[in-house]
Amino acid sequence: MDVLLQALLNGILIGGILICLTVGFQLTFGVLHVIDFAVGGWVMLGGYAAYWASRLLGLDPFISVFFIFVVFAGIGCALGPLIYHVRTSRYARPDLMALAFTFGLFIMMRGGALWLWSFDSRSVDSVLSGASLSVGPVTIPLLRLSAFGMALLLGLGLFVLLYRTRFGMAVRAVAQNRDHAGLMGVDVKRVSAYVYGIYTGITASAGVLLATIYSVNPEVGVRYTLFAFFVAVLAGLGSVGGVLVAGLILGLVESLVGTYVGTRYSLLVVFATLYLVLLISPKGILRRGI
């Protein structure tokens, strides 16, 4: 029973971060209609940024995460117009070309990290590492709890931005219909670039949190791209709300399989579930996808 409780708790805490990892991805798909293969690459680069910030500047990841958000949002804003250009180009299949483009970006990030920083895993230390809270039979590592809180904060900020500001209204308008939004005076190109920036910022921040809990190496990107796809497909591609449910499900599945079946099977189960969900219900379990 205690083991089950602990597994459930771990699942929920990780699920919160996975939600943070996927909301930006979903937003990008909704607005730009691009499946970004590079999502795991942003997570990985965020982790490395936190590592170097703590190594060179002595910044705690929970402080540097704000700077990392800003820096990566800037990079994303600069990259956004390129992706918008590819997606709206006159190529025969702009959707597949955009997919290939982000695929290229992802290989570049993974390869660049391998080349610069080699295979070694690097862990990012925080003042909270090692401390934990005991509540009844379960122990809550403070690190995971704070990371969960930070992820919720970021997610909440995104929701406020989307539903309580004029900019958010423009974003939602573009997501509903790009042409009509353009006719109503929304600068579609600029909104798309900003959305891509917000997405890269929030995804890199999720990467910081994940790097403090686990560690970071060039190969983690593949895994997190997969996780983002999993959560997105389960939620229905483009549905931001569905992510809340799907992220928790993935967190719980991973934690429960890891506890009861064995960690080496957890990826197998995750991939098999993803494949089956795609075949059975490609619009997501809530049927809210585009």
Partner 1 sequence: MVSKPSRRRLVATGLALVAGTAALTALPAFIDPYSLRIVTGVLMWAGLACAWNIVGGYAGYISFGHSAFFGIGAYVTGILMQSGVGMPFLATLPLGILVAVGVAAAIGGPTMRLRGAYFAIATWAFAEMLMQLATVLDITGGTGGLSLPAYLNEFFFYYTMLVVALAVYLGAWYLLERTRFGYRLKALRDHEPAAEAVGIHTTRVKVQAFALSAGITSLFGSIYAYWVTFIDPRSVMGPEITDQMVVMVLLGGLGTVWGPALGATVLWVTNRYIWSEFGDTAIYLPILGLIIALIVLFLPNGLISLLPGGRRGHGVLTRLLRKL
Q: Which is nearer to partner 1, 66 or 265 (CB)?
A: 265
Q: Which is nearer to partner 1, 1 or 116 (CB)?
A: 116
Instruction: Work out how close the CB of 85 gets to partner 1 at its nearest, in angstroms, rounded to a whole number.
Output: 8
Beta bridge partners, 233, equal none
Q: Which is nearer to partner 1, 138 or 277 (CB)?
A: 277
Instruction: Work out how close the CB of 285 gets to partner 1 at its nearest, in angstroms, rounded to a whole number.
Output: 15
Q: Which is nearer to partner 1, 5 or 108 (CB)?
A: 108
The string of DSSP letters for the chain reads -HHHHHHHHHHHHHHHHHHHHHHHHHHHHHHH----TTHHHHHHHHHHHHHHHHHHS---HHHHHHHHHHHHHHHHHHHHHHHHHHHTS-SS-HHHHHHHHHHHHHHHHHHHHHHHH-S--B----TTTT-EEEETTEEEEHHHHHHHHHHHHHHHHHHHHHHHSHHHHHHHHHHH-HHHHHHTT--HHHHHHHHHHHHHHHHHHHHHHHHHHS-B-TTHHHHHHHHHHHHHHHH-TT-STHHHHHHHHHHHHHHHHHHHT-HHHHHHHHHHHHHHHHHH-TTTTTT---
Tell me the two tokens of residue 179.
Answer: 């042409």
- In this structure, are residues 261 and 254 in contact, taking their beta carbons and an 8 Å threshold? no
Q: Which is nearer to partner 1, 16 or 247 (CB)?
A: 247
By the criterion CB under 8 A, which residues form the site for partner 1? Answer: 35, 82, 85-86, 89, 91-93, 95-101, 103-112, 114-115, 118, 222, 226, 229, 233, 237, 264-265, 267-268, 271-272, 274-275, 278-279, 282
Instruction: Work out how close the CB of 220 gets to partner 1 at its nearest, in angstroms, rounded to a whole number.
Output: 14
Instruction: Work out how close the CB of 269 gets to partner 1 at its nearest, in angstroms, rounded to a whole number.
Output: 9
Q: Which is nearer to partner 1, 68 or 270 (CB)?
A: 270
Instruction: Work out how close the CB of 211 gets to partner 1 at its nearest, in angstroms, rounded to a whole number.
Output: 21
Q: Which is nearer to partner 1, 170 or 175 (CB)?
A: 175
- In this structure, are residues 92 and 70 in contact, taking their beta carbons and an 8 Å threshold? no
Instruction: Work out how close the CB of 152 gets to partner 1 at its nearest, in angstroms, rounded to a whole number.
Output: 27
Instruction: Work out how close the CB of 289 gets to partner 1 at its nearest, in angstroms, rounded to a whole number.
Output: 9
